[in-house]
Amino acid sequence: MSLSADRREELIEHLAHWLNRCRLGIPAIAVLEAHKPVSFVSSQTLLAAEPLVTLLFGRIQIGEYAALLEDARNVERVIHRLEELEEHGSGAEQAAP
């Protein structure tokens, strides 16, 4: 499955913001960095785990996320976006005195 550039950016934004909201940005960066060399295998594992992931997270587009994460360049884009969000902090953290 190939993704359009617009859809790829939507998925990156959605994933990065979701991880940031759950306060999983830094652990996600570590995991993604470690799995970059085997991103294709990891994406295929995600497809195999689709029934469990759907059970835990509801109906999401596993195929699209697997297609996104099979390319190491996209993994790097997600990492970069997570780093940006971590650098800027969430709105709640910025509002604190």
- The average pLDDT across 22-45 equals 91
Q: Tokens representing 56?
A: 């835990």
What is each CA distance from 38 to 28, 44, 69, 84, 92, in whole angstroms?
15, 10, 10, 24, 35
Residue 93 lies inside a defined structural domain of this protein:
no
Residue 90 pLDDT: 56
pTM of the model: 0.79
Return the closest-CA partner of residue 11 out of 69, 93, 72: 69
Residue 95 lies inside a defined structural domain of this protein:
no
Residue 36 pLDDT: 87
Q: State the residue range of the domain holding 33.
A: 5-86
- Is the pLDDT at 75 greater than 60? The verdict is yes
- The average pLDDT across 14-32 equals 94
For the chain, the domain total comes to 1
CB atoms within 10 A of CB 12: 19
Residue 12 lies inside a defined structural domain of this protein:
yes
Residue 97 pLDDT: 39
- Stretch among 1-10, 46-55, 76-85, 88-97 having the lowest mean pLDDT: 88-97
